[in-house]
Amino acid sequence: MKNLTFRQLKVFETVARHLNYTKAAQELHLTQPAVSMQVKQLEDVVGLPLFEQMGRKTFLTDAGHELYRYSRAISAMFAEMDDVFGALKGMERGALSVSVATTAGYFAARLLAEFARTYPQIQVSLDVTNREALLGQLERNECDLVIMGRPPAEMELEAEPFMDNPLVVLAPANHPLAGRTAIPLAEVAKENFVVREEGSGTRSAIERFFAAHKVQPTTVMELGSNEAIKQAVIAGLGLGIASMHTLELELETGRLVVLDVEGFPIVRHWYVVHRKGKRLSPAAQAFRAYVLQEGAKLAPGLTSSGR
């Protein structure tokens, strides 16, 4: 691997991210033949094929997946080095990679926008994805910081809570339970529910709550996003449970209501998370401090009571 170059890795990483030579060439401002040549040279160095074509689609080989993991780690180290030397020069600059849980995406963009106005020289990338993908990124050390719900105890992580995350029961505005107060949980449990997919942090919290109260609601549909949950509830397919932080627009327009159910809201928390022992760049340190200080102010009106 002596003849491997950082440029080859960068070209490979871009192709691996897009799984498309044309898009990679556009991003890199190179011709497609030039990109193909760099990948071919890298394959010669590695001694194994990195991509395979099936029809019109490009896929990573097993060797390609392995090299992509190393390439991401090397790129992260170079970015960290750039940040560290920039800080030594007294410059507030650098790159920051933040991944957030899907539900947190409703306020994370606002949080990053405010941070970017404070630190305009820091280049920020944001990935909004599900809990399983977040845990994978943390395991592979692919991002600087993660914003998520309850972190798993079995992973070696540094996690600090910065904001309440109240889960509430949703209903369409014309639902018979709308407007009632102190609705018994047992009565609500008789209703049909639409829920998030297995592995979702919200789904796990709901299951723990109902198990603790020894009730078993009827699930009529599993859906993969908060938007899908809200649309299903509006359509009358069942009640839903979601974070108050996802409901601002629907509550303002009256398309959904929050039911006053005994035991709700389920108050969880949002955490800013990174791998234990990870050396945070100055940019990541600045963002972490900003989240802990300012994060809870970005959800006006969404108190822990949920109403």
Q: For residues 32 and 23, is the Cβ–Cβ distance under 8 A? A: no
Minimum mean pLDDT among 56-65, 100-109, 185-194, 296-305: which range?
Answer: 296-305
Instruction: Say what angle helices 32-46 and 6-18 make with each other, to 10 degrees.
Output: 110
Model confidence pTM above 0.75: no
Spatial separation of the C-alpha atoms in residues 134 and 128, rounded to whole Å: 9
Q: Is the pLDDT of residue 305 over 50?
A: no
Residue environment code for 102-122, b if the CB has 16+ CB neighbours within 10 A, otherwise e: bbbbbbbeebbeebeeebeeb
CB hemisphere CA count around 183 (13 angstroms): 21
Q: For residues 102 and 147, is the Cβ–Cβ distance under 8 A? A: no
Phi, psi values for residue 209, rounded to 5°:
-65, -50
Q: Is the pLDDT of residue 84 over 90?
A: no
What's the pLDDT band for 306 if we cut at 50, 70, 90? very low
Average pLDDT, integer, range 193-206 = 86
Q: For residues 221 and 237, is the Cβ–Cβ distance under 8 A? A: yes
Average pLDDT, integer, range 145-168 = 91
The per-residue pLDDT for 30 is: 92
- Paired strand residues for 275: 157
Q: Which two tokens stand for residue 284?
A: 């990541």
Torsion of CA 232, 237, 243, 245, to 10 degrees: 40
The per-residue pLDDT for 89 is: 56
Category of 236 on φ-ψ map: left (φ > 0), alpha (ψ -120 to 50) or beta: left
Q: DSSP class of residue 159?
A: E
Spatial separation of the C-alpha atoms in residues 135 and 133, rounded to whole Å: 5
